[in-house]
Amino acid sequence: MEMVTFDGHNYILEHGAINIKVARSDLKVAICDAGFFCEQICPDGGTCTVSKSLCEKGTYCPEGQTEAVMCEAGTFCPAGSSTPTPCPPGSYCPEGSSAPKKCNAGTDFCPAGSSTPQKCEVGHYCPTPSIQVLCEAGYYCSGGDKNLCKDGSLCEECPDGMVCGKSSKSLCPQGTYCPAGTSSPLPCPEGMVCMSGTSSPLICPKGSYCSSGIAYSCEEGTHCPEGSSFPADCSPGHYCPLASIELLCPAGYYCVGGVKKACLPGSYCPAGSSHEEGCGLGEYCSEAGTKKLCPAGSYCLGGEKIQCEAGSFKINLTEI
């Protein structure tokens, strides 16, 4: 160990000292060993020292390193590593690994340098955790396993819209759907439609409702927006002209059972009416959507305004 003075600081040079850049040719500084990292500590007004630490698990330290480097994905680094080690076949190594992790045999495979396990693809099998192999003729492969085809069986993936048994292939029935590889049809969700040969459900169209995968037309007086599983009744004071929408009943009409009907003369129907309202005494309804007080010089009966005859006059009933 040696102590030297430079730029007003005292340096104690230990094995592994680094990063002391000086102009003196007689000052010898040791390079930090591979597998370690070295830090220089200089307290204010004190003596500078150099510490040397073993590289931790999941990191590596080349020669002369001041800090540890994270082990890259696809490699592993035990404590004291100077370089990352490639992940071996049959294992996988996420970033920062200190040791390889074993691949799940039969379902996954991990070639050399893997950072994550890979699933054995359909039509392939994985005899060892390091490789996947194409399924040979006369066999079918699923979930990483290889199985011998029985006599007369279909050793191929069942196509979209079809359902396949060991020795048969048929169209997916109405009300169900069959993605590729289906051995048993799947029930169609409510609010969806599944025609014969469907590989994926379709949303029920406007004006229809869909139950058990079958589409039915919306009945009069009901409405069915997209994705309906049952017809919805029109709300009071509304009508349903297209079976897919619900509209507010306009002034001059009343709407019941989803049907729009004209207000009769002498009746009063503002917007959103579900029934007719009669005009009161001393009122008239010249327009079906309005109600007015009978004017001077007229009398009003049954919602109609009638001119007073000569020699007669109107009494405003509201003033009695």
pLDDT in tens, the chain (320 residues): 344 444 444 444 544 344 444 434 444 455 778 888 887 776 666 666 677 889 999 999 988 888 899 999 999 999 999 999 999 999 999 999 999 999 988 889 999 999 999 998 888 899 999 999 998 877 778 778 888 776 444 566 778 999 887 667 889 999 999 998 887 899 999 999 999 999 999 999 988 999 999 999 888 778 888 899 988 888 888 888 877 788 898 888 888 888 888 888 777 888 888 888 877 677 777 665 677 777 777 777 766 777 787 655 555 444 44
pLDDT at 88: 96
pLDDT at 46: 62
Q: Are 99 and 76 in contact (CB under 8 A)?
A: yes
pLDDT at 206: 87
pLDDT at 223: 85
171, 176, 177, 180 alpha-carbon torsion, rounded to 10°: -50
pLDDT at 58: 95
| Whole-angstrom Cα Rg for the chain | 44
pLDDT at 69: 93
Whole-model pTM: value is 0.41
All residues at 6 or more sequence positions from 152 whose CB lies less than 8 Å from its CB, including other chains? 166, 167
Q: Are 263 and 253 in contact (CB under 8 A)?
A: yes
Strand 253-256 with 192-193, pairing: unpaired
- The half-sphere exposure of 36 on its side-chain side, counting CA atoms within 13 A, is 15
For residue 117, the one-letter residue type is P
pLDDT tens for 181-219 read 887 899 999 999 999 999 999 999 988 999 999 999 888
All residues at 6 or more sequence positions from 86 whose CB lies less than 8 Å from its CB, including other chains? 74, 75, 112, 113
